[in-house]
Amino acid sequence: MTGDVDDSRPAFSGDASADGLIEQRVSGQQVYSGALLDVRRDRVRLPDGSEAVREYIVHPGAVLMIPQLDDGGLIVVRQFRYPQNRAFVEFPAGKLDAGESPLATAERELIEEAGYSARLWTRLGVVHPVISYSTEAIEIYAGRFLRHVGAKLDPGEFLDVIHSTEGDLYAAQDSGALSDAKSVAALSMLTRWLAAPRRSLLLRIEGVVQGVGYREWIRGIAGDARVCGWVRNRRDDSVELRIQGERAACDAVTDACVEGPRAARVTRVVVLPQTHDATLTQFDLRPTS
């Protein structure tokens, strides 16, 4: 056990003075540090002024990927989980390496575990699987426009790659065959996403997409689809697109962006859902940002 250590929890997002439930950290110790687990024991001051002990695990964070095939099928994996002494069906997932972004982790882990790369990535949200004793946050991404490149499993990693469907996975959930918390949550998030009647999206299109007429091309695509929003170049050589409208129309524009105009060479499209913006009433070209 080490002496007092820095606070490794996520930063508090809000006004602590206005929240009557906040527990103030007094001191903290690292109880154990292993290959995976970093166990902490903190003393905290409760809202009534008394003190208590909180034990928890510091986690680097993780990403879960929902690989979507062209025919609407989904890819899951089956692997043995030692603490539960059984094999589980789950979506591919992996923890963040130091300094790695969630999307970079998603791209790496999808290849390593399932053997696929994806050109279109949609962030569906984040889940906190064990809020009572871990800092872990899992980013959820759906990957489409897949290409099979072959799995590259880590040494000592063994799993089966399974082609499934949304209905199959709900049936597995009903029977108890699918009980992994992150995968249950991700399946629900995907279903909600697929069923949403409208979309409000921010897209980042990467690759050779400037100087090839991409903005004018996408303005024509957006006009035909009758979506509102705007498009602009970014100084990092990507194109940024904001669209809003009916689900089918927005999905059609998003899918078109993966290919782009003839002279473009799109390497990746990242989709970030947004809240509805009532000020978007037409489609505009905007200056470089």
**Positions marked catalytic:** 215, 233
Residue 205: closest CA among 121, 287, 100: 121
Structural tokens at position 105: 């982790």
> With b meaning 16 or more CB within 10 Å and e meaning fewer, what string describes 82-113?
eeeeeebbbbbbbebeeebebbebbbbbbbeb
Which helix or strand (DSSP H or E) is residue 188 part of? helix 181-195
Considering all CA atoms of the chain, what is the largest pairwise distance in Å, rounded to the nearest integer? 67
**In whole angstroms, what is the distance from residue 252 CA to residue 227 CA?**
10
SS3 for 189?
A: helix
Structural tokens at position 208: 């050779």
The dihedrals phi and psi of 227, each to the nearest 5 degrees, come to -110, 155
Which helix or strand (DSSP H or E) is residue 75 part of? strand 74-81
